[in-house]
Amino acid sequence: MATITRRELIEQAATKVGALGAGQALEVEDLNVIDSYCTQLFDQLAEDEILTVGDDDAIPASWAPYLSSLLANLIAPDYGMPFQTDAKQAYEAILRRLVRQKETFEPLQVDYF
């Protein structure tokens, strides 16, 4: 199964909002801001029980277009574009469908009495 890294995901999202052009490197400030939003996105997806990203260096490539679009939508207001609620709901629904009834290899929470 093909995978991507967190950094590649961040670069895809940065490209979608126009923060990263072809052949350019992402500015350190932009990288730090987008990385922070990436953490927030992963936390939100886990709390909403949509999916849990277990390894930031091995994100399934099938999730990449939807995660990068969600991340781009989340950072869009910082780059002069509106946040789109409809797009967020649509991408989350696709991710739910991709991970339903499959092993996610997520770490389990143990609850001892």
Residue with tokens 């499959």: 102
With CA atoms as reference, report the closest residue to 15 among 72, 59, 63.
72
Measure Cα distances from 15 to 9, 11, 18, 19, 22 in Å: 10, 6, 5, 6, 8
Q: Tell me the pLDDT tens digit for each residue of 69-110.
A: 999 999 999 988 999 999 999 999 999 998 886 565 667 777
pLDDT one-digit tens code per residue, 11-33: 999 888 888 777 788 888 888 99
